[in-house]
Structure formats: structure tokens, C-alpha cells
Structure 1
């Protein structure tokens, strides 16, 4: 199936023709975290049909947004420099969509890549620069992330590791990120479980990562 054409000549129209098809921008979102194999992309988008994933990858390649690269006898997909220009747009869309997020439906899940991009969109570099370097090990639903903040620099990786604060939370972490729920109340109410480290560091986390609801 050919990508949709809208019959108008302007930048917004062309952008939608390139990344406006269903699933396309979510593929870009996950590739902004890092290169992925086909199977990794499918695992991160559990409801995408395999034929649609193949079609979107082909379309994004044809548009010069992603490319196939052989690596260690496997094929991976990565963004081209042109594709990486979408990063500030995706982060802004994430922050904009957060305002209308609401409560999750039962079938909705958190993935490591979606949470990584949510944290990147919520990151306040100027605020972080006022704090000492801090590492957080966060288990957010099934996603385990190691979050390192050093001044205005943010690094998010999958997995666990040494951290100043390790905590677990579900989708209600959005209430902490929005400021709706104070960190100490989130801990007291069981929304956030402190696994190790001083719980007071959750205040620093909430100041460093904030999205307006």
C-alpha cells in the first residue's frame, strides 16, 4: 500500500505523508532510543502486525528517515541524520500528549523505550544542573531503567545497576511527574516503592523530571 497523499503543497502535509501513517512515528520514537533489530521493534510495539511493521520500515527507508545496517551478522535499523532531526518534534509531542494522558486502560503497557522517551521529554536540564550527579534505578511496570543525571546531562539505559535511589512504580508515576502527587505522599500511599536508598531523593527526581498536566 502506497503512503497516503493529501494533495496539498506545504511542509506539514509533506511531514504527515512521511511519518503520519499509523505506527510510523512510534517506530521513530523507539529508534531515537537506539538502533533496533526487526524483532526488537516488534517486541517494543506488541500490537503491531508484522506486515504493517515491514511496510512502515520500507516506507521510512524510502523516505531517507531510517536505514538498514548489517551488524554482527544481523540487520539492524537506525535513524539517518535526517531522521534524527525528528527528536525535538517527538519530545515535544510526548510532552503535549502527556496533558491528555488520563488513566491507563487495562490493555495499555509501559515499554522501556516509551518510558525512556517520556523521561527525556520531562527532563529539566537547568534544574538538574543545580543538583549533584545522581543515579536512579527505576522499575516502571515491566521496564527496568538505569537513569544517570550529571549536571545538564541525562543518560537512560535498560537494566539495573548501582544507584543512589532504586524505586518501583506503575503507571501512576505520571502523577509524580505532573506534580499532582508529592513524592513523600507517593511513597506513603504505595504509589512508589523505595527499594534502596533514601526516599528523600525522590523529591530530586520529581524536580528533575517534570511534565505539566
Structure 2
């Protein structure tokens, strides 16, 4: 259990005691993408001190939110079923925080796991269900992701591969996802660079992935 206690008998209070310490929810975010080794978690959160990372992992393990598991001779951390129940909470927080993001600061980074969760947050399954299956190869800063949309199903994996549309973008993709910038303007202004495929498919991407801005 986390060290902080609020002295109130309340479900929200208890939730904050379990995941409200700094870095805890970001560890949950990255583990929602998949199991990770200690070194992978540290690399995904480059500013976290090693002693804090070890402490947060122990607290989350003691709370039954994650567990250590052997995988191919290494130990990985993975969410328990109880921990995975946090997914809609994390996605809702991502959508809420998106409204206040603004432009990135110079020291802010994008990681593959944070971008994966951003896409899962913005995904609109009801819209996608009426569109043809599409594969997008995205290069979002240093994050290379293969995004497969098949009806209402979304799969995001690291790396490159065959795709209907391959494009590169920086943090300015926020303006496309928010609807602030139309797909054709995103291409014309260089916010999005189409590397392979028909540029019109960016319209499909923008329809499939959308979050309202403030």
C-alpha cells in the first residue's frame, strides 16, 4: 500500500491511496500496453529516479495491481486482472487531459507506449465499424507504430510493416486528432508527411481517431 493516507472512508480516497503517488499511474499506463521488464519501464519514464521506480513497483505489487512474472528467463512486470480494470480510467483521464495539453515544451518527449495509449484513447470504434479495414504505419517522433483497424477492433504494435498509409508527424498531430486542422491542411502545411499510400486515407485516420479539444 502507498505511504500516503487521507483518513477518509471513500472509494475515491482508497483509489488515490493505491495509485495516486507520483509516477504510479504512468507505470499503469505503460503496462496497459503490455508486460515490461524493469529496464523497459525505466526507459519509458526517463525522469523517474531508480529508487522511486522500485518503490512504486513494490507498492503496486503489494496492492495487487501488478505482479512479477518470469518470461523467457527474465522477470517482467504485468498488470493483474484487478490492475487491468484501470484501463477505462486511464483512457478517460487521457481524454480529459488532452483538452489542456496545448503545444509541447522542448523537454517533453513522446514514447511508443504513451503514443499507443493516446491512439487507444482517441479511437472511435463506432465510426471505425463502418469503414474499410485499414493499416497505418505511423512515425510519431521517435515512436514507430503499426496501427491496424478492422471494424471496431484496434491493434497497435511497435515497428514497421506493410500498410495502406505510411505517414510521419510530430506533436502537431494533436491538431489533426482534435479536428483543429483538416487532413488536407495537415499535409499541405507539413504537419503530416505522407510517405506511402494515398493521402486521402488520412481523412479516414482523422475520422477514426478523434478527441475533442477544449
Is the TM value for this pair above 0.5? yes
Q: Which residue of 1 aligns with 2:62?
A: 62
Give SS of 2:55's match: helix
**Is the 2:2–2:18 contact (alpha carbons within 8 Å) kept by the matching residues of 1?**
no
1:116-195, aligned counterparts within 5 Å? 116-195=116-195
Q: Which residue of 2 aligns with 1:104?
A: 104
Q: Distance in 1 between matches of 2:140 and 2:2?
A: 38
| Mapped pair 1:78 → 2:72 | no
Q: Distance in 2 between matches of 1:58 and 1:152?
A: 36
Give SS of 2:163's match: coil
Q: Which residue of 2 aligns with 1:206?
A: 206
Offset at residue 2 of structure 1 (A): 5.3
| 1:115-161, Cα deviation, whole Å (9 max, x unpaired) | 00000010000100111100000000000000000000000000000
Q: Which residue of 2 aligns with 1:93?
A: 93
Q: Which residue of 1 aligns with 2:115?
A: 115
Give SS of 1:167's match: strand
RMSD over aligned Cα atoms: 0.9
Structure 2 unaligned residues grouped into runs of 5+: none
Equivalent pairs, count? 213
**Is the 2:132–2:150 contact (alpha carbons within 8 Å) kept by the matching residues of 1?**
yes
Moved over 4 A (4+): none
| 1:156-194, Cα deviation, whole Å (9 max, x unpaired) | 000000000000000000000000000000000000000
Give SS of 1:102's match: coil
Query: Kindly tell me: are residues 72 and 41 of structure 1, through their superposed partners in 2, closer, same or farther at Cα, counting changes over 3 Å?
Result: same
Q: Distance in 1 between matches of 2:2 and 2:58?
A: 11
Structure 1 unaligned residues grouped into runs of 5+: none
